[in-house]
Amino acid sequence: MPKSILLVDDDPETVMIVSEALAGTDFKVVQVRTLAEARSRISQRLPDLLVLDGFLPDGSGVAFIQSLRDRKIDLRVAYLSALWRDEAILGRLTGELGVCRVLHKPLGVSGLRLQIERCFEPEPVEVDEPLEALEPTPEPGRAIPWTPGAPRPPRSAPKPKTPAPPSRKKPLFAPGQPVPELGALEAQRQRLRRDSPDMRARLFDGLSDRVEELRQTLSEASQEERGGDAVLAAMELARRVERTATDIGLLSVAVSAAELRGALEAVEGGHLHLHEVLPALLDPLLLGVHAANPGERAEVADPELHLARVLLIDDEPQSFAAARAAARQRLFAIRCVRSAEEACALARAEPFDLALLRFDLHHEQGGVSAAEQLRAAHPGLPLGFLAEAWSPARRHRAAEIGAVLTAARPLTGDTLSAALRRIASPEGEPRVLLVDDDPNFTRVMTMLLGRVGVAVTAINDPERALGALTETRPDLLIVDALMPRVDGLDLCRAVRTNPAWDELPVVMLTGMSGRDVVVAGLEAGADDVLLKGIDTQELLARVRARIDRSRAARRRADRDARTGLYNRRASAEQLAARVEEARRLRRNLSVALVRLEGPAPVIDAALEPTAQALRGGLRGYDLLGRVGPTTFLATLASTPGDAATRVLRRVIEAVPGQTTDEDGLRLRLGVVCFPEDGGSPEELMRAALERVRER
């Protein structure tokens, strides 16, 4: 006779997995979503097994089990737990509440059937009193009256339990019963993948939804200093993604989810900041899930390394071939779609560095409409336009929508490189430190500056301002003139007396009008003194102008005059920062030296072409510097040494004029990898120099 199982869970994924695991068995599963429905079912007929989630829309699973035990309803219960394993909780469930098995979410199809079957295995019983004195056990199928408001029956004091002799404990497997091996479980999992394509497709859809939910949760967590409850929720989602990906054979996704979960545990423990693990660990997870769908594979130039991800929207498919060829040439990953709707859907599932649209998509200025849809759905995605011909009116319209590039169609490799150089500045997004004791004002300013791509760190306690300067290293300081304890004038004077910040632009805001206030602010060292009621567009323009000038001055101090790359001093500082970042995130960092050899006039003529080839062939956020009269430095983050070697060989081969003659130009390359070849910048530079000399 089939055994009846009442499943109480409102999670469609759990219901689907349980149904699939028990398909073709003698178990009959009835599913309900709420505790109220469960009470109704139990009052009509007692199931052989109750499988109950811990958190339901109308109450707690633990409290429901307690109410069953208080009413002397002896019913086998398996508890579905979405929490981390806790000995205290497990002890209460399996001891006081008599739960026969705790099943930890996310559930695995391959082992779930075995766990359900074990719920029906008899346990050894210690007889402490005559059997006739025991409470009668309701038989399956007998109706149990249920009166929600009835008083609880008196409970007799529990008898002290005598531990069962070891010999009486039922073994996990009976004598002669074969013990399942890992290979057998893997074979079962393989059969699931082969024989249940619909089930795998449904699980994949659920996995995609979980990953998107994880991404959104991490986005919410990043808005807080440590993430709070959102980090805990993200840890649980990562665990569920890991288990589901394992069950349907997406091992790379499972590994990425496990690495992300471990990093989130470090964030929760206070050992890492959330911004240190994103997007380095989230990007591989999102890309892995998207690449697993055969209908959504990216056109990747090199599976081991792509320099950027580009989304192309064009209504003429014949243009896609040229775009893909250009992408392969420059080691980019490119996705080609024909409509704004497809582009928005794809951008929700996969991160992109740039979207390029045909200006007259479907009709004149149709690309502008598509760009507005993309901008509304993904405000931070840089946009560019392609057209066969550009008129002043078209360029003006593209600028109004915020295009970073207007270029000729069809797409070429030079266009891709130019676009990525514009959007992938090594300096990153502009940073502003905002100091004001009014939380409402800082909230509004953060929102306004965020709309134009400025990252704002807002603090309401002026005494924390100097420490925040060191932590955030902003491009601009905005400070209120009048604040309690430390006002803006005193703060500005303190900044100007510190050699590390004496050139930092300072904009002072005040709610008081008058010439005296402006003069006092300028004398204290502010570069601008503005009224808080200033026009929004003027305020944003002044802030942006100050940031641009600050960065331009910094670039002039850090750049090699001949090539425009980082000079020796700045390269050393940047290399130390990249090595420390790689150490913190536990990822690879390839460090390369490119040395020019030959007669002095030949080398001198080749400096600019070599710098241009490196700049055009590598990613915008890779470090490039000139560290000697004939030597260039490059670092490639998250790139193994062999992949970096192949990429750099391809790049330097494009430098013209190379020969094998003693009187000609020769380029030597040395590539090493952190941490295998060295743990410090000095060790890596020495090792790379040795590789150059060996060649």
Instruction: Name the residue among 351, 447, 457, 361 with its Cα closest to residue 401.
Output: 361
User: According to the model, what pLDDT value does residue 468 have?
Assistant: 85
Across-strand partners of 690? none
Instruction: Name the residue among 169, 192, 197, 30 with its Cα closest to residue 111.
Output: 192
Strand boundaries in 314-454, DSSP class E: 333-337, 354-358, 383-387, 405-408, 431-435
Instruction: Name the residue among 563, 684, 695 with its Cα closest to residue 632.
Output: 563
pLDDT, one tens digit per residue, over 420-462 is 555 544 455 678 999 998 888 888 888 888 766 677 889 998 8
Span 156-181, average pLDDT: 40
User: According to the model, what pLDDT value does residue 356 have?
Assistant: 92
Distance of CA 552 to the CA centre of its chain: 31
Cα gap 405→385, rounded to integer Å: 6
DSSP state of 471: H
CB 403 within 8 A of CB 383: yes
Span 585-590, average pLDDT: 86
Class for the domain spanning 298-423: alpha beta
- State which fold the 3-125+134-146 domain adopts: Rossmann fold (3.40.50)
Q: Which helix (H) or strand (E) holds 6?
A: strand 3-8
pLDDT, one tens digit per residue, over 477-504 is 999 988 888 888 888 988 888 777 778 8
* Residue linked to tokens 């503005």: 530
Residue 523 has pLDDT above 70, yes or no: yes
User: According to the model, what pLDDT value does residue 199 have?
Assistant: 57
Question: Exposed/middle/buried for 222, CB within 10 Å: 0-12, 13-18, 19+?
Answer: middle
User: According to the model, what pLDDT value does residue 154 have?
Assistant: 43
The more confidently predicted of residues 100 and 247 is 100
Residue-by-residue DSSP string for 575-640? HHHHHHHHHHHT--EEEEEEEEES-HHHHHHHHHHHHHHHHHHS-TTSEEEEEETTEEEEEEET--
Span 68-92, average pLDDT: 78
Query: What phi and psi, each to the nearest 5 degrees, are found at residue 595?
Result: -115, 135
DSSP state of 167: G
Span 22-37, average pLDDT: 87
User: According to the model, what pLDDT value does residue 691 have?
Assistant: 92
User: According to the model, what pLDDT value does residue 494 have?
Assistant: 87
User: According to the model, what pLDDT value does residue 422 have?
Assistant: 55
Residue 85 has pLDDT above 70, yes or no: no
Residue 137 has pLDDT above 60, yes or no: no
For residue 436, which amino acid is it? Answer: D
Query: Where along the chain do the CATH 1.20.120.160 domains lie?
Result: 196-292
Candidate from 5-9, 166-170, 395-399, 564-568 with smallest mean pLDDT = 166-170
Q: Please report, rounded to a whole number, the percentage of residues in the chain having pLDDT higher than 90.
A: 17
pLDDT, one tens digit per residue, over 209-247 is 777 788 778 877 776 654 567 888 888 888 888 777 766
CATH of the domain spanning 431-557, picked from 3.40.50.2300, 1.20.120.1150, 3.40.50.150, 1.20.1260.10: 3.40.50.2300
User: According to the model, what pLDDT value does residue 6 have?
Assistant: 93
SS3 308: coil
DSSP state of 77: E
- State which fold the 568-694 domain adopts: Alpha-Beta Plaits (3.30.70)
* Other Cβ atoms closer than 10 A to 362: 14
Candidate from 175-189, 400-414, 622-636 with smallest mean pLDDT = 175-189
User: According to the model, what pLDDT value does residue 677 have?
Assistant: 93
CATH of the domain spanning 196-292, picked from 1.10.1370.20, 3.90.180.10, 1.20.120.160, 2.40.50.200: 1.20.120.160
The more confidently predicted of residues 115 and 289 is 115
Distance of CA 302 to the CA centre of its chain: 22
User: According to the model, what pLDDT value does residue 283 have?
Assistant: 66
Question: Exposed/middle/buried for 457, CB within 10 Å: 0-12, 13-18, 19+?
Answer: middle
DSSP state of 92: I
Indicate the average pLDDT of the chain.
76
Candidate from 150-154, 361-365, 635-639, 652-656 with smallest mean pLDDT = 150-154
Query: Cα dist. 483→436, 495, 510 in Å?
Result: 7, 16, 10
Question: Exposed/middle/buried for 285, CB within 10 Å: 0-12, 13-18, 19+?
Answer: buried
Span 667-686, average pLDDT: 93
Residue 540 has pLDDT above 60, yes or no: yes
Residue 58 has pLDDT above 80, yes or no: yes
Question: Exposed/middle/buried for 658, CB within 10 Å: 0-12, 13-18, 19+?
Answer: middle
The more confidently predicted of residues 382 and 677 is 677
Cα gap 569→486, rounded to integer Å: 36
Cα gap 535→444, rounded to integer Å: 14
> CB under 8 Å to 625, separation ≥6 — which residues?
560, 565, 566, 567, 568, 570, 571, 574, 575, 632, 633, 634
* Other Cβ atoms closer than 10 A to 568: 14
pLDDT, one tens digit per residue, over 339-393 is 888 788 788 777 787 899 999 988 777 888 888 888 777 766 788 899 998 888 8
* Other Cβ atoms closer than 10 A to 321: 11
Query: Where along the chain do the CATH 3.40.50.2300 domains lie?
Result: 3-125+134-146, 298-423, 431-557
Output the six-digit token pair for 661.
């003659």
Q: Residue 417: pLDDT band by 50, 70, 90 thresholds? A: low
Query: Cα dist. 208→255, 285, 357 in Å?
Result: 16, 10, 27
Span 192-196, average pLDDT: 43
